[in-house]
Chain A
Amino acid sequence: MSEETYKIRIKYVKSGVLKYIGHLDLMRFFQKAFKRAGVDVAYSQGFSPHQLMSFAAPLALGVTSEGEYFDAEFNSLESSEELVRRLNEQMVDGVYVKDVILLPEKAKKAMSIVAASDYLISFNNEDIKDAVLEKVPYLLKKETIEVFRKTKKNEKVEDIKKGIYKLELNGDKIYMFLATGSEYNLKPESVIEALCKEADVTYNRFDYQIHRVETYYKNANDKLVSLLETGTKIQ
C-alpha cells in the first residue's frame, strides 16, 4: 500500500429486491464488487486488511433510493466514466453505480457532513391514500407537529416541524425534504405518522413505500446541495 491514497465518493442506486439488503451487507457486496472489478482500492494494514469504506446515510431496510453515497480510498485512479463502467459490470439487479467523484484531500467523511435528504412516498393502500394526501398541504401550517419518537433511552413526544424543509404533493406521491444526519435526523416515517394522525387513519408502515431521491450537505454558502458536488469528476 502506498502512503498516498485518493479519496473517492460513489453515488449509487438501490432498488427492487435490494431494499431487503441491509447497509452492512451492502458494504460487503461493494467490497467484493471492487475486488471482482479489479479496481485499485486501498486496504488497511495488519493481519486482516480490509477496504476503507464508509456510508453516508445508511438506509433503513425496505427503503429504495437513487441518491446513495459511500466513500472509499484508492491507490490509483481511472476516469469516472471508466470506474462507473467497470463497477457496473459487477452489479446485480437492483443496484448500480451512477457516479464516481474525487474528493479534495482534506474532505470530511460523507457521514459527518450529510444534512438533508428528500423522499418520494407512494401509498399502496388505496383505502387511506386519499385521506392522507389531502392533509399534505396543511401539515406545515400547524404550529407544532407532534409525534412519538423512540430514542435509545425512551419514547417521547417531539415536535418534528423543524426537521421538515419541504412537504408537498407530487402527482399521487408525497414529496418531502427532511433533515438528515448528526445534527438533526428526521425519518420520513415520522412525517407519515403525523399525516395519518391528522387524517385520523391508523398508521401502518406497510401501507406505503419510501424512496430516497437525493442526499445533501450544506456548502460553504450554507446552501443544501447534492453530495455529488463535494468533489470533481475524474477525467
Chain B
Amino acid sequence: MSRLALSDEILMGIEKPARYIGNEVNMVKKNPDDVDIRFAMCFPDVYEIGMSHLGIQILYDTFNRRDDVYCERVYSPWPDLDKVMRQKNIPLFSLETQSPVKDFDFLGITLQYEMCYTNILQVLELSQIPIYTADRTMEDPIVIGGGPCSYNPEPIADFFDAFYIGEGETRYNDVFACYKRMKADGCSRAELLHELSKIPGIYVPSMYECTYNEDGTLASFEPIYDDVPRTVTKEVVMDFNDVHYPEKPLVPFIQVTQDRVTLEIMRGCIRGCRFCQAGMIYRPTRQKDVNLIEDYALKMIKSTGHEEISLSSLSSSDYECLKEFTYFLIEEMGNQHVNISLPSLRIDAFSLDVMKKVQDIKKSSLTFAPEAGTQRLRDVINKGLTEEVILNGAMQAFHGGWNKVKFYFMLGLPTETMEDAEGIPALCERVAQAYYDIPKEQRNGKISITASSSFFVPKPFTPFQWAAMLDPETYIERAHHVKDTFRQQLNARSLRYTYHESYVSVLEGVFARGDRKLSKVIYDAYKSGCIFDAWTDFFDNDKWMAAFEKNGIIKEFYTTRERGEDELFPWDFIDIGVTKKFLLSEWNKARKEVVTPNCREKCSGCGAAKFGGGVCFERQKNG
C-alpha cells in the first residue's frame, strides 16, 4: 500500500474519504523519479464533479502516453478537509502519488465556470504556492489555465503564469519541450514565461500590459516585448479522427456526477445560437468517424465495466451518422446490459423510437429548449426551434405514451419585452391544450409540464458580447410576472414554473466580460471566506458585495452596460477564428430579428474556415 498524505484519523473524520485516496481503476502509475515533467491536473471543484469531466480524462491520457511526463490529479478539498489541512499545515497533494503539488513542474487548472474562481485560490493557497504569479519563483510549479473560461482569462490573469487558449490536445508537446530546454539552460522564471509566450495558443498575461480610458474601458492591450505575439490564436484539433481519446478512462469508486462512459462524437455546433459561447469558440464543427466511435464505445465499456454510456456533443441530432451509431449502440449495448443516455436530441420520429427503446416512457420526459417564449425573440437569438416543430414533436410523443414535458427558457435576453416573457406560459399552455385535444382513451392520464428559466448572461465571443445584461431587480420582477401568468392559464394545474435566483448570474455576468481590475475582488472575496461559490450552500453574496465595495468596483460597469461597436474588449487579443466583424453583423441582425442559417444550410463566412477543415469543407467534399 502506498502511503497516504492524510492520516487515518483525518480520513475517518471527514466526509467521503475516498475523494482523497486515488487508487481507482485505470489510474496511471509511474515513478516520479523516472520522468522529466510532473504535471498536476486540477479541476477546482469537489472530486465527484471533477472526475466527471471529459476534458481532464483526455489530457490525463494524452500526457501519460509520454514516457517523460507523469500527469496526476488534484481536486478541491471539501470544506471539512480544507479546515483540517489549514490547521495542521498539510500541503495539498496529488491523488496518484499523494505528494505535494508544490513539488510539481506544472499545475494545470481547468476553468469550466466562473464560479470556481475562489476555488482556484484555495488550491494555490493549500498547495503553498504564492497566489499571484508575480510572487512565484523557479521553485514553484508553472500554473497554467485552460478550458472555456480561458477565452476571457483577464479577471484571473494575475493568478496564472500562462493560459492555454483552445483545445488541449495539440500544443502541450511544444510546451513540455520548451520547459525542458529552458530548465536545462538554468533560465529564470521570467525568461521561461517569455519563451512560453511565443508558443502558438499560449497566453502569458505578465507579457502584456493594459491601459484604461477614463470611463474604465480598455484603451490598449499590448505585449511588453516585440517578440511576444499581439494576438493569440486558439488551438484547434483539425484531424479529429486522429487524436488521442482515453480508451481506458478512470473509474471512480464513489458515485460521481457522470458515472458512465462518455463518448465525444462531435465538437462544435453548426447552429449559431447568438447567446451560446460554445457554439462560437468550438467552430468549426468537426465530427468523428462513425466506425471510430463504434470501436471506442466497445473498448471503453470493456475497459471500465460501466453500465451506462452517453454521447457528448453540443447537439447530437446534428451528428450525421447518428442513426447508424445509435442503432449500433442499442444492439451492442443491450446485449451487455449497458444503458444508453442520449442528451440533446431533437424530438422527432427517430429520437422517439430510440427513447422508447432505451428508457422507460413512464419515467422519462421530453425536453425542449426554445430558450425564448415568442418567435420574435427566438429569431433575435437565432434559435431555429419554432412552435410548430415543438407542437409536432410533442404530439407525436403524446401519441406514443409520453406525458411529461420539460422546457428550458432564458429571461433577460436582449430586446426582450413583457410580451416575450408572457410567451413562456402561453407556449406551455398551448402544448397542454394540444395534449387534452387528444381523445381521452388515446392519451396517458394527466400531462405534466415543467418550465424553468435562467437569467441570461452575455458571454464574450458571442454576438451578444455587446449586449447589456438585465438588472437583477427587473429580472426578478419579470420572473414573478411569468409565474403569475402561469397561474392564470386554463391548464395551470398541469404547469409548473421555476426560475433561477439572480445573484450568482450577476457575478457570472461580471466575470464573463471582466478585466484585470477584478482580480483584487476575487482575492478579497476569497480571503473573506468565499469558496465553492457554485454550491448554493456555500455561496455568500454579502461577502462578494463587500469585496466589490472595498475595491471601488462597480458591477454594473460589467453587466448592465451596453458596449459601443468600437469598444476594445479585454478578450480581443484572442483569435477564435470567428471574427469580431462577423459577431458584430450577427449582433446587428439580432436587433433586426433576422435569422442566420446554420453552417450546413449556408456558410455565413464567420472566419472559422481558416482552420481548414470541419463543416466548412463538408459541402466541398460531398460535391
Which residues on A are within 8 Å of B, measured CB to CB? Answer: 15-18, 20-22, 25-26, 28-29, 31-36, 38, 43, 47-50, 61-62, 90, 92-94, 205-206, 209
Chain B residues within 8 Å of A43, by CB = 337
Instruction: Give bound CA distance, A206 to B339, whole Å.
Output: 42
Instruction: Give bound CA distance, A168 to B118, whole Å.
Output: 54
Determine whether the beta carbon of B251 is less than 8 Å from that of A32.
yes
Determine whether the beta carbon of A17 is less than 8 Å from that of B305.
no
Smallest beta-carbon distance A207→chain B, Å? 9
Determine whether the beta carbon of A21 is less than 8 Å from that of B18.
yes
Chain A residues within 8 Å of B25, by CB = 29, 32-33, 36, 90, 92
Contact sample, A vs B, 10 pairs, CB 8 Å cutoff = A17-B1, A21-B254, A22-B18, A25-B253, A29-B253, A32-B25, A34-B305, A47-B363, A62-B8, A93-B2
Which residues on B are within 8 Å of A, measured CB to CB? Answer: 1-2, 4, 8-9, 11-12, 17-18, 21-25, 27, 251, 253-255, 301-307, 336-337, 339, 359-360, 363
Chain B residues within 8 Å of A22, by CB = 18
Whether A206 touches B9, Cβ cut-off 8 Å, given contacts A17-B4, A17-B23, A93-B23, is: yes
Smallest beta-carbon distance A14→chain B, Å? 12
Instruction: Give bound CA distance, A18 to B17, whole Å.
Output: 10
Instruction: Give bound CA distance, A202 to B363, whole Å.
Output: 53
Chain B residues within 8 Å of A35, by CB = 301, 305-307, 336
Smallest beta-carbon distance A18→chain B, Å? 8
Instruction: Give bound CA distance, A31 to B8, whole Å.
Output: 27
Instruction: Give bound CA distance, A49 to B359, whole Å.
Output: 11
Instruction: Give bound CA distance, A84 to B253, whole Å.
Output: 21
Smallest beta-carbon distance A33→chain B, Å? 6
Smallest beta-carbon distance B8→chain A, Å? 6
Chain B residues within 8 Å of A17, by CB = 1-2, 4, 21-23
Instruction: Give bound CA distance, A36 to B26, whole Å.
Output: 12
Chain B residues within 8 Å of A92, by CB = 23-25, 27
A-B contact count (CB 8 A): 77
Whether A206 touches B8, Cβ cut-off 8 Å, given contacts A47-B359, A92-B24, is: yes
Chain A residues within 8 Å of B9, by CB = 206
Whether A25 touches B18, Cβ cut-off 8 Å, given contacts A35-B307, A47-B359, is: yes
Instruction: Give bound CA distance, A32 to B305, whole Å.
Output: 4
Instruction: Give bound CA distance, A226 to B305, whole Å.
Output: 31
Instruction: Give bound CA distance, A20 to B14, whole Å.
Output: 11
Chain A residues within 8 Å of B4, by CB = 17
Name A15's contact: one of B1, B2, B339, B359 (CB within 8 Å). B1
Determine whether the beta carbon of A16 is less than 8 Å from that of B1.
yes
Instruction: Give bound CA distance, A62 to B16, whole Å.
Output: 12
Instruction: Give bound CA distance, A17 to B306, whole Å.
Output: 22
Chain A residues within 8 Å of B337, by CB = 43, 49
Whether A25 touches B254, Cβ cut-off 8 Å, given contacts A17-B1, A32-B306, is: yes
Q: Which residue of A lies closest to B361 (CB)?
A: A47
Instruction: Give bound CA distance, A31 to B308, whole Å.
Output: 13
Determine whether the beta carbon of B303 is less than 8 Å from that of A36.
yes
Instruction: Give bound CA distance, A205 to B339, whole Å.
Output: 42
Chain B residues within 8 Å of A47, by CB = 359-360, 363
Instruction: Give bound CA distance, A93 to B29, whole Å.
Output: 11
Determine whether the beta carbon of B21 is less than 8 Å from that of A20.
yes
Q: Which residue of A lies closest to B21 (CB)?
A: A17
Whether A31 touches B307, Cβ cut-off 8 Å, given contacts A25-B253, A61-B12, is: yes
Given pairs A22-B18, A47-B359, A47-B360, 12 additional interface contacts (CB within 8 A): A17-B4, A20-B21, A31-B307, A32-B25, A32-B251, A35-B307, A36-B303, A48-B339, A50-B307, A61-B17, A92-B25, A93-B23
| Most chain A CB inside 10 Å of its own CB: which residue of B21, B22, B24, B255 | B21
Smallest beta-carbon distance B477→chain A, Å? 43
Determine whether the beta carbon of B1 is less than 8 Å from that of A94.
yes
Name B255's contact: one of A26, A28, A33, A93 (CB within 8 Å). A28
Chain B residues within 8 Å of A32, by CB = 25, 251, 304-307
Chain B residues within 8 Å of A94, by CB = 1, 23
Instruction: Give bound CA distance, A133 to B304, whole Å.
Output: 46
Determine whether the beta carbon of A36 is less than 8 Å from that of B302.
yes
Instruction: Give bound CA distance, A38 to B336, whole Å.
Output: 9
Q: Which residue of A lies closest to B336 (CB)?
A: A35
Chain A residues within 8 Å of B307, by CB = 31-32, 35, 50
Chain A residues within 8 Å of B17, by CB = 20, 61
Instruction: Give bound CA distance, A34 to B306, whole Å.
Output: 10
| Most chain A CB inside 10 Å of its own CB: which residue of B27, B305, B336 | B305
Instruction: Give bound CA distance, A22 to B21, whole Å.
Output: 13
Smallest beta-carbon distance A12→chain B, Å? 15
Q: Which residue of A lies closest to B4 (CB)?
A: A17
Q: Which residue of A lies closest to B17 (CB)?
A: A20
Instruction: Give bound CA distance, A36 to B299, whole Å.
Output: 10
Chain B residues within 8 Å of A26, by CB = 253
Pairs A-B, 7 closest by C-beta atoms: A32-B305, A16-B1, A35-B305, A36-B305, A206-B9, A20-B17, A47-B360
Chain A residues within 8 Å of B2, by CB = 17, 93
Instruction: Give bound CA distance, A94 to B18, whole Å.
Output: 13
Instruction: Give bound CA distance, A47 to B359, whole Å.
Output: 6
Chain A residues within 8 Å of B253, by CB = 21, 25-26, 28-29
Chain B residues within 8 Å of A62, by CB = 8, 11-12
Q: Which residue of A lies closest to B305 (CB)?
A: A32
Instruction: Give bound CA distance, A61 to B11, whole Å.
Output: 10
| Most chain A CB inside 10 Å of its own CB: which residue of B12, B21, B253, B303 | B253
Instruction: Give bound CA distance, A209 to B1, whole Å.
Output: 15
Smallest beta-carbon distance A165→chain B, Å? 27
Instruction: Give bound CA distance, A34 to B255, whole Å.
Output: 18
Instruction: Give bound CA distance, A50 to B360, whole Å.
Output: 15
| Most chain B CB inside 10 Å of its own CB: which residue of A36, A50, A205 | A36
Whether A25 touches B1, Cβ cut-off 8 Å, given contacts A206-B8, A206-B12, is: no
Smallest beta-carbon distance A193→chain B, Å? 16
Instruction: Give bound CA distance, A90 to B304, whole Å.
Output: 10
Smallest beta-carbon distance B292→chain A, Å? 22
Instruction: Give bound CA distance, A90 to B11, whole Å.
Output: 26
Chain B residues within 8 Å of A209, by CB = 8
Name A20's contact: one of B18, B251, B339 (CB within 8 Å). B18
| Most chain B CB inside 10 Å of its own CB: which residue of A47, A90, A205 | A47
Smallest beta-carbon distance A22→chain B, Å? 8
Q: Which residue of B lies closest to A64 (CB)?
A: B1
| Most chain B CB inside 10 Å of its own CB: which residue of A26, A28, A50, A90 | A28
Q: Which residue of B lies closest to A20 (CB)?
A: B17
Smallest beta-carbon distance B470→chain A, Å? 42
Q: Which residue of B lies closest to A49 (CB)?
A: B337
Instruction: Give bound CA distance, A17 to B1, whole Å.
Output: 7
Chain B residues within 8 Å of A49, by CB = 337
Smallest beta-carbon distance A27→chain B, Å? 11
